Amino acid sequence: MRVAVIDDEPLARCGVVQRLARHSDLSLAGDYADAEAARAGLTAAPVDLVFVDVQMPGQSGLDWLAAQAPPRRPLAILLTAHAQYAVQAFALEAVDYLLKPIDDARFDEAVERARRRRREREGIGATVPAIAPLRRFAVRVGRRAVYVEAERIEWIQADGDYALLHVGGRSHLLREPLHRLAERLDPLRFVRVHRSAIVRVDCVAELQALPNRDAIARLQDGTPLRVSRTYIDALLARLQDGAGMG
């Protein structure tokens, strides 16, 4: 994919460019300090994906994105230090929303979402079958293999190179790291909320903001889970549109 970066902060642009270099399928087409410069550069040489800052001098990143005609609008990953723009971002069909300072794991997740969205746009999914989300997990209980349905899992906790599946007041140890589980679960039903936790969206009963821009999610059974500010945007989007409910 051809990629552009639009951000008025030189260090922020540099950080994104450095992270892009880790992905061999992404090619940097240009980086711009404001929307006006980007408008000129991208008109001459369109790109597939942009990383664009929400707040910039002159035209904001959201306004710049909204001004692009939908058929020609590139995929967009928004950058900002403030979480309150999440709903607007997803209303513009942004691929993802990254809070500054950018977390490496969240950056990689956003890139993978962009890849999937591009495949959907180009219809590649019609010829290359997508990997279906896992519907059940096999866990060891003594000498027995117990099968746990994914739809019954309330939340998942990292435990070193393993994961604990929390189901109805019980926990089951799974021999798989959390980051791999995040790739195999249904993204409409499960959202990563912390480096050490994944939650099923319809189990969230309330969300309480904290002064440091983290939050506490309280589940239906009363379990409190810390939501890191680097993951809160994705959770807000799912709670806003009701995805994963039912």
Question: Is residue 98 located within the same domain as residue 178?
Answer: no
**C-alpha to C-alpha distance for 66 and 93, rounded to whole angstroms:** 10
pLDDT at 243: 45
* Residue type at 245 in one-letter notation: M
Same domain, 224 and 189: yes
Whether 66 is covered by a domain: the verdict is yes
pTM over 0.95: no
Closest alpha carbon to 102 in 166, 48, 53:
53
Place of tokens 């959770």: 235
- My answer on whether 6 and 117 are in the same domain is yes
Q: Where does a domain end: 102, 126, 150?
A: 126
Number of domains making up the chain: 2
- Which residues are registered as beta bridge partners of 194? 197
- Domain match, 143 and 91 both: no
Per-residue pLDDT of the chain in tens (246 residues, 90 and over written 9) = 999 999 999 999 999 999 999 999 999 999 999 999 999 999 888 999 999 999 999 999 989 998 988 888 899 999 988 766 666 666 677 888 888 888 888 899 889 989 988 887 776 544 444 556 788 888 877 778 888 999 999 999 999 889 999 999 899 998 888 888 888 888 888 999 999 999 999 999 999 988 877 899 999 999 999 998 878 877 887 786 654 444
Q: Do residues 30 and 3 touch, judged by C-beta distance below 8 A?
A: no
Position 84, amino acid: Q
Do both 11 and 80 map to the same domain? yes
Q: The domain containing residue 70 runs over which residues?
A: 2-126
Q: Name the domain boundary from 126, 148, 181.
A: 126
Q: What is the DSSP string of 119-188?
A: HHHHTGGGTSPPPPPP-EEEEEETTEEEEEEGGG--EEEEETTEEEEEETTEEEEESS-HHHHHHHS-TT
Q: Are residues 169 and 192 in the same domain?
A: yes
For residue 116, what is the DSSP state? H
CB of 60 closer than 8 Å to CB of 52: no
Residue 131 within a domain: no
Question: In this structure, are 68 and 150 located in the same domain?
Answer: no
The answer on 50 and 18 residing in a single domain is yes
Encoded tokens for 82: 């403030």
144 and 101 fall within a common domain: no
Please report whether residue 27 resides in a domain: yes
pLDDT at 129: 44
Q: Spell out the residues 6+ positions from residue 63 whose beta carbon is closer than 8 angstroms to its own.
A: 35
In a domain, 10, yes or no: yes
Residues 114, 154, single domain; the answer is no
**Is 47 part of any domain?**
yes
Same domain, 34 and 141: no
The neighbour count for residue 158, using CB atoms within 10 Å, is 17
Do 34 and 83 sit in the same domain of this protein? yes
What are the structure tokens assigned to 245, written together?
Answer: 């409910």
Query: Domain boundary at 126, 156, 180, which?
Result: 126
